[in-house]
Amino acid sequence: MAPRAASIGECMLELSPRDGGLFALGYGGDTLNTAVYMARLGVAVDYLTALGDDGFSDKMLAAWRAEGVGTGQVRRLPGRLPGLYLIETDAQGERRFSYWRDRAPARELFALPETPSVVDAIAGYNLVYLSGISLSLYGAEGRQVLMGALDAARAGGAQLAFDSNYRPRNWPDIATARAAMAEILKRTDIALVSFDDERALWNDDAPIAAARRLATLGPAEVVVKDAADPAVVLVAGASPELVVPESAVTPVDTTAAGDSFNAAYLAARLNGVAPIEAARAGHRLAAAVIRHPGAIIPRRAMPATI
């Protein structure tokens, strides 16, 4: 039977810049972006979140289904609307986000009457993926419920993949973020992080230092991404290796660069590809994604091979 993956988090409406100072309406969110790209790469993946019962939520669900992402575990909250974010980019393609998401339904996924059914569902996947943004949504009580669900899934043989995706504005303080990250890393099999996030969280002075520190916390497999620079891959029992992108790319928009890298990496690993080659696949997909505006690029822009 083909492996099944779950991606947990929040998808928001997305306003991305277009010519003339206009914005296009789409959708995006770190773990949703990864789920979409995983589905495009042939992985059976479900997205676990909560949405409203509004027309925008209907359109997002339809779009996810059209991408092949399973929506059977999406919960709908009456009278609520999804969150919204706006992207601004500078001349180098680097982005800045503005958010409207304080009452987003996704924040309540692990505090709903339906939560026990979500928890039960998590135990049925071969791979569970989430991020530091996911953790920041749920609050202390919700995170405790989530950790219990992840423990049950891993006891049943599931692997947990995690990207720290640290966003300071999402946390009350850095101590709370560090504590939550430490708890999830104890349970993590594959850590897929960005050096900028680890440096901001833990003051790591180099990607290899970040990889070595993370490897002591629990993950047997660590990848530290560093934008256009080589990624560090560290597998238990081996020395760190650098994986260089195959070609230099001038970015249009770096949104979802890390999310797409993670998708290609995880899809490759689920297909039995070794970590170094999986990281090369991650670089290839990320290079295609940053050539286009917005989080989800057109299907026609996907690389012919990953």
Closest CA to 192 of 170, 160, 167: 160
Domain extent listing, the chain = 4-301
Residue with the larger pLDDT of the pair 101 and 234: 234
CA dist., res. 32 & res. 191, Å (int): 18
Region 201-215: mean pLDDT is 97
Q: Per-residue pLDDT for 114 more than 80?
A: yes
pLDDT digit string, tens, across residues 30-62:
999 999 999 999 999 999 999 999 999 999 999
Q: Two tokens at 111?
A: 């505090």
The confidence score (pLDDT) of residue 146 equals: 98
Name the residue among 255, 239, 259 with its Cα closest to residue 194: 259
Written as six digits, the tokens of 239 are 């020395």
CA pseudo-torsion sign 114, 36, 280, 136:
negative
- Cβ-contact 232, 242 below 8 angstroms: yes
Average pLDDT of 132-160? 97
pLDDT at site 89:
75
Distance CA 63, CA 67 (A): 6
Mean pLDDT score across all residues of the chain? 95
Percent pLDDT > 70 in the chain is 99
Q: What is the mean pLDDT of residues 149-165?
A: 98
Please compute the mean of the pLDDT values over residues 94-101 and round it to a whole number. Answer: 83
Distances (CA, A) of 240 to 81, 209, 212, 222, 271: 44, 10, 8, 9, 22
| pLDDT exceeds 80 at position 95 | no
Residue 302: pLDDT above 70? yes
Mean pLDDT of 98-104: 91
263: three-class secondary structure by DSSP: helix
260-277: pLDDT as tens digits: 999 999 999 999 999 999
Return the CATH class of domain 4-301. alpha beta
Report pLDDT for 93: 64
Q: What is the pLDDT of residue 306?
A: 81
Write b or e for each residue in 276-305: b if 16 or more Cβ atoms lie within 10 A of its Cβ, otherwise e. eebbbbbbbbbbbbbebbbbbbeeeebeee
pLDDT of residue 181: 98
User: pLDDT (tens digit, 9 = 90+) per residue, 209-249?
Assistant: 999 999 999 999 999 999 999 999 999 989 999 999 988 88
pLDDT tens figures, 59-74: 999 999 999 999 999 9
Model confidence band, residue 194 (pLDDT cutoffs 50, 70, 90): very high
Give the catalytic positions in this structure: 259
